[in-house]
Structure 1
């Protein structure tokens, strides 16, 4: 791994999500934000790199739809790690010079998709009811936007909230939310509450719950609290016991926590690309006996297509849908997606799972997202 062009002391809570510091901090989040460990099997041996030889015939169109080789596009798209799995076997991988594939990398909102799978497991064990009101598990939501919403609406991002998802916000509600999670430095003159108190202060927006897809990260942080209350255990322990050890994850994962230990289920998880490929293959194999086949099938059901069409992410997958924190693309794929370029891509027809972890300088870049989708489909032979 190449030396980073700055000192560790240069990386702070104020700059850790910005280039160039993110190229280091995205693999060392626990040094910046307090984090809980999600133990894996701890029996994994570091895999030898394979390289991209198996994908030498892949041609793709990169940024601005211009022809590009796969290695060039990975560099151009600020990729840190790529793992490609075919029929349950890793056939290709790639690491940036500054990246260490053995280090857990932050996955931002891919965390939401893992939270969704955990909910499916708990529901199958009759510990969670998607049809129940959120208030059954978290009575503190009384008086907030969530007071009259169901758990299923929470997991489908169909809550009407007076909150704007604005990743570059420096002085508004989203920045205050970030401070409540412990991700931004506190402002002495305007202290933020802890994460649960912040969520329970969010008011209702216009319209009714269930009408439209409205992507708002506090929803999933609340979902993590719901799962803890439903199962009577902390979020990190639930993930470890029900999912991470079950897939045979070779490395521990992590999740950031706020000042009182509430997990950032919406975006705070870190994991290795290889373990995420195992997770994606679990979904490809319809749950593999760990998550119920019915729950996985429901991710493809397109039940919430109309809400998606009325929502705020339609441009990403115009014929897609969204269910339990997973994107269904409308073209035979499922995806888990996080800001700054984190992806799990699942294409069952070609038996392919792709994981791309990145340190893209912009949180959201729609043109780059479309180029990445083209890359994924080229790798899958679509």
Structure 2
């Protein structure tokens, strides 16, 4: 009897040790999951958006320290009436206005005690990152790596055979017209976008998440609907075509030649796959630097990064959006009422790169706007951007 109790005791001790070991191993994942659940809390959101690397797995990009392109400062502009109130209402953390390659306004209205110099803070892009991937796709398309945008995504990603993406083309996912069923409701805990966030936080596979989608609501190419996972599939296509990671490619072909001032990073899943649909972290200045390259037809400080033809094609409202609604190109937005050369990158909680090529104006905005989805907010942002651009005529 004593022997039996002894072995039971040893067994219980081993179980407790295994449980304790498992808890230690999982502690980081649990902490990340808790961080996701409080990421947008009113008392934390501003600080969180400049400290994403403390909450998620991430991958640093590389840049050539010999190439640093600081946009020069020019004469301060007169800001439109209502700018200060708009900035306060929209919880703007950083805003830079560039005209013809010269900074006309730079400010950081909402900061935290942890920011020694807000100009060097790396701020989360959210879906502004999608437009960076568009430029990378343009480079690979034009150098012949991915020659045909009408090719099926499964040509480069065989693992998507049998998924919702089986019949989608590269152009379909570029234009957000894949027809894949994906709930983008950030306010619904059980929505697909929030399930995806928990996949990221727990270090699970983003590729596996995309491969597991099996429902569609329309034939590919027939109807536009904003589906963020489409952008991850673009990343899968690029990785499949090159056998290289997105951070490596973006560092070599975009980040390095641009000459960013601070080394950026991507959030990543537990398989070292970059969160390409929204995980870039740059300074507000460097978002403006990227926007200035695009506004300049793909040229940054005399160095061509992508062709002007791709800039024009990718920023045209070519997706099958509803008549009279906002337009969409290849991971770029075209606001209602836009004239030629007006388009933008846009991310949740108020991240923007607004571009007016005709006026040579670029407006980079970072924010922590918890009211970003309320009626009229997006329109008021575009109205302010247009007012700023028009004031520089």
**TM-score, with normalisation over the residues of structure 2?**
0.82
Give the Cα–Cα distance (whole angstroms) in 1 for the partners of residues 206 and 290 of structure 2: 27
Q: Which residue of 2 aligns with 1:63?
A: none
Q: Which residue of 2 aligns with 1:113?
A: 131
Q: Which residue of 2 aligns with 1:324?
A: 330
Give the secondary structure class of the aligned counterpart of 1:111: helix
Deviations 1:222-258 (A, max 9, x none): 2112112212211111111110111111111111111
**Cα displacement (A) at 1:348:** 1.3
**Cα displacement (A) at 1:300:** 4.3
Assess if the C-alpha contact under 8 Å between 1:42 and 1:252 holds in 2. no
Give the Cα–Cα distance (whole angstroms) in 2 for the partners of residues 78 and 265 of structure 1: 25
For residues 94-173 of structure 1, the aligned pairs below 5 Å read 94-98=107-111, 100-129=118-147, 130-173=149-192
Higher helix proportion (structure 1 or 2): 2
Equivalent position to 1:27, from 41, 50, 71: 50
Distance 1:363 1:217, change over 3 A: farther
Question: For structure 1, which segment, 148-157 or 96-105, has the greater mean C-alpha deviation from structure 2 after superposition?
Answer: 96-105
**TM-score, with normalisation over the residues of structure 1?**
0.85
Give the secondary structure class of the aligned counterpart of 1:148: coil
**Cα displacement (A) at 1:45:** 7.8
Corresponding pairs, count: 346
1:290 aligns to 2:305 (yes or no): yes
Give the secondary structure class of the aligned counterpart of 1:266: coil
Q: Which residue of 1 aligns with 2:250?
A: 239
Q: Which residue of 1 aligns with 2:101?
A: 88
Q: Which residue of 1 aligns with 2:87?
A: 74
List structure 1 runs of 4+ shifted beyond 4 angstroms: 43-51
**Cα displacement (A) at 1:261:** 1.2
Give the Cα–Cα distance (whole angstroms) in 2 for the partners of residues 212 and 50 of structure 1: 44
Distance 1:90 1:44, change over 3 A: farther
Assess if the C-alpha contact under 8 Å between 2:183 and 2:191 holds in 1. no
Q: Which residue of 2 aligns with 1:4?
A: none
Assess if the C-alpha contact under 8 Å between 1:122 and 1:231 holds in 2. no
**Cα displacement (A) at 1:267:** 0.7
What 5-or-longer segments of structure 1 have no aligned partner? Answer: 1-8, 61-67, 187-191
**Cα displacement (A) at 1:49:** 11
1:59 aligns to 2:65 (yes or no): no
Deviations 1:26-68 (A, max 9, x none): 01101011111122334588979979x7232x334xxxxxxx2
Deviations 1:279-303 (A, max 9, x none): 1111111112211121111134433
Assess if the C-alpha contact under 8 Å between 1:108 and 1:268 holds in 2. yes
Q: Which residue of 2 aligns with 1:18?
A: 41
Assess if the C-alpha contact under 8 Å between 2:267 and 2:274 holds in 1. yes
For residues 364-379 of structure 1, the aligned pairs below 5 Å read 364-379=373-388
Give the Cα–Cα distance (whole angstroms) in 2 for the partners of residues 226 and 281 of structure 1: 27
Assess if the C-alpha contact under 8 Å between 2:157 and 2:236 holds in 1. yes
Q: CA RMSD in A?
A: 2.4
Assess if the C-alpha contact under 8 Å between 2:69 and 2:258 holds in 1. no
Which structure has the greater CA radius of gyration? 2
Give the Cα–Cα distance (whole angstroms) in 2 for the partners of residues 71 and 49 of structure 1: 24
What 5-or-longer segments of structure 2 have no aligned partner? Answer: 1-31, 113-117
Distance 1:96 1:301, change over 3 A: closer
Give the Cα–Cα distance (whole angstroms) in 2 for the partners of residues 341 and 35 of structure 1: 22
